[in-house]
Amino acid sequence: MIYQDLLKQMLSGWEKYYQQVMNGDFSAVCWKEGHHETYGTYDTQSTDRLKLCCYILYYHKDVPEEILLRLFEEECQNLETNSFQGVSEAVKILTVLLSVSENHYPELFERAKNANFDCYCGYECETDLFRRIMKELPDFNAERCLSLAYDTGETDYALQFLDIVKSEYVIKDESDCRNLIWWNEQLGRTADNEPILRKCIEFAVMKNVPWEIIYAHHKLMEFLIGQKRFSEAYQEFEILSGMDLSDCYGVNLFGSILESCLDLINADIPQARTVWKWAKHHIKRELKNSNGMYGIFYEKLIPAAQLMNPRFARKVQEQYQLWKKINKIS
């Protein structure tokens, strides 16, 4: 099935929202406040409203204007109250649809612009960014359809679009690699990232930028650890430990490399002592120079040190307790 047919199939499931509002029922797409323990205030029905906006865009641009106005007001309330600030896809679509009207709504557009900080910086009612959304259905490529499926929570369709994107994708540079890696991670296809990560190493070597080569090898090492392929991860450690990493000392990348070393040690691989021998003096330097590392580092370091050097582990434990006290962590 070509992606246009798959898109139409996905959109057909959203027709119900259109029928409801045409009958005067906005209950499924109006703003409805919700609260998340981590992310704060959000609109529980914003996704369904986005589905309706997309359905209108593709099939019913001639929808009565009062429906667009009501949806715009509901979306503004979402933008004004949502703890996660941003310019939503729904407000972009509604802005485009209303901006081609014979009527003018400067006050409504001004409300959207002042809805939150990101809107103030990035929202405009007449820009190419919004005009591009007016493209007809055949002009949307598979990756655009993938984004739409992901944004609307249609995971099954997103996975199918991802397969189509991969079949058509030509990886030209690191940016293309990062894009595919991100999609695989978001959609539970992390295991598919290995050839892409190896491609990243090839690009880094071609550019001959040491920092990028180090970063690319570590990302592969991190991936292999996540897949519990520790012997292969150790091979990446051997490559990294043989490189000059001095430019990375004291920065996040080197801390992440040390974390991965601790992961290998805690996995109790046969070469754990070799890894510990290389990592130990770097860890001591990092602990001293940074006046204490971050929590997850301590949590990995303590069991690793208990395996390799119990006396050192006790010192780290004391330093961890002090770090928690200073940072008021229970």
Q: Mind listing the pLDDT tens digit for each residue in 275-289?
A: 999 999 999 888 877
Examine the fold and report which residue of 143, 169, 195 is the final residue of a domain before the chain moves on.
143
Q: Is residue 151 part of a domain?
A: no
Does residue 136 sit in the same domain as residue 246? no
Task: Look up residue 275 and give its two tokens.
Answer: 């890894």
**pLDDT score at 138:** 46
Q: Is there a single domain that holds both residue 136 and residue 236? A: no
Q: Which is higher by pLDDT, 27 or 292?
A: 27
Same-domain pairing of 20 and 138: yes
Residue 285: predicted pLDDT: 86
Q: State yes or no: pLDDT of 220 exceeds 70.
A: yes
Query: Does residue 226 lie in a domain region?
Result: no
Last residue of a domain, one of 85, 110, 143: 143
> What residues form DSSP beta bridges with 40?
36
Instruction: State pLDDT tens for residues 90-145.
Output: 998 898 888 878 888 889 889 999 999 888 888 877 655 555 655 544 467 888 89
What CA–CA distance (Å, rounded) separates 188 from 39? Answer: 22
pLDDT tier for residue 294 given thresholds of 50, 70 and 90: confident
Choosing from 89, 123, 143, the residue where a domain stops is: 143
Same domain, 8 and 127: yes
Give the per-residue pLDDT at 267: 97
- pLDDT (0 to 100) of residue 282: 92
pLDDT for residue 295: 86
Confirm whether 152 is domain-assigned: no
Please report whether residue 159 resides in a domain.
no
Cα dihedral across residues 78, 185, 161, 122: positive or negative: positive
- Cβ atoms < 10 Å from Cβ of 211: 13
Residue 209 maps to a domain: no
Average pLDDT over residues 192-198: 97
Within a domain: 296 = yes
Q: 302 is in which domain, residue-wise?
A: 231-330
Whether 7 and 139 map to the same domain: the answer is yes
Which of 199, 198, 286, 290 has its CA nearest to residue 236? 198
Nearest to 33 by CA among 82, 88, 87: 82
Is residue 176 in some structural domain? no
Residue 204 domain-assigned (yes or no) = no
- The answer to whether 89 and 47 have CB atoms below 8 angstroms apart is no
Please say whether the beta carbons of 278 and 264 come within 8 A. Answer: no
How far apart, in whole angstroms, are the C-alpha atoms of residue 41 and residue 173? Answer: 38
Residue pLDDT, tens place only, 86-102:
889 899 889 888 887 88
Mean pLDDT of all residues in the chain?
90
The full length of the chain comes to 330
Q: Is the pLDDT of residue 300 over 70?
A: yes
Overall domain count for the chain: 2
Q: What is the pLDDT of residue 131?
A: 59
Q: How far, in Å, CA of 31 to CA of 46, rounded?
A: 7
pLDDT at 144: 85
Summarised one tens digit per residue, pLDDT across range 152-179 is: 999 999 999 999 999 988 899 999 999 9
pLDDT at 137: 43
What is each CA distance from 96 to 1, 106, 122, in whole angstroms?
30, 13, 15
How much is the pLDDT for 130? 54
Q: Which residues of 142-173 are buried (b: 16+ CB within 10 A; e: fewer)?
A: bbbbbbbbbbbebeebbbbbbebbeeebebee
